[in-house]
Amino acid sequence: MISKPSKQSGVTLVISLILLLVMTIFGMTAIRLVNSEERMAANTYDRSLAFQATESTLKAIEDLIESEKPQPTSGCATVGSLMTCAAPASSSTPRWTDTTFTSWSNATTVGSGTLAITPKYFVEYLGDTYTCRPGDPSDPNNCKRYRITAKVDGGGGRAAVMLQSMYATD
């Protein structure tokens, strides 16, 4: 007995096309996810690099303050090798938020090539009427205090970081 060929309805083709579409959507989603994770990793790296450069600058400036102990009387100027400002008036805008403040000084560049970052800083001399040994009634209250502000601008696609430290010395 000879059998007649059956009619093909093309269901296999339709199912194959649907599976191909689903796999394409999964592939596109995976690519988007990988790109997003890559950007997050790059941003974390940039933030870490900027933070380390700023922190390194704070430590270097603290060492210079300890050796030079600058004491400006007014305004901002380079005293020794440090950009140092006199104590700000309590009613004035903080210098680090003042867009007209122009006395940021370049610190030592950290890194090299495309990873080179040059932090900026300034030092504020807050006076010499602070206690040297808190809780000691015989303390002469003549220790010096400095506020150091260091920043890395977010230019060139890098993260922006600003750190401050208070430094005390005799």
DSSP 80: T
Residue 156 amino acid letter: G
Contact 37, 53 (CB under 8 A): no
Please name the residues in contact with 54: beta carbons below 8 A apart, sequence gap of 6 or more.
119, 150, 151, 152, 161, 162, 163
Please report the pLDDT score of residue 90 as a whole number.
83
Please spell the DSSP secondary structure of 100-152, one letter per residue. Answer: T----EE---BS-GGG-B--EEEEEEEEEEE-SSTT-TT----EEEEEEEEEE
Contact 161, 170 (CB under 8 A): no
Question: Domain map of the chain by residue range?
Answer: 12-169
Please report the pLDDT score of residue 155 as a whole number.
62
pTM value > 0.75: no
Please name the residues in contact with 160: beta carbons below 8 A apart, sequence gap of 6 or more.
50, 151, 152, 153, 154
Please report the pLDDT score of residue 111 as a whole number.
77
Tens digit of pLDDT for each residue in 112-141? 777 788 899 999 998 887 777 777 777 777
Run of H or E residues at 168: strand 161-169
Mean pLDDT of 47-76: 88
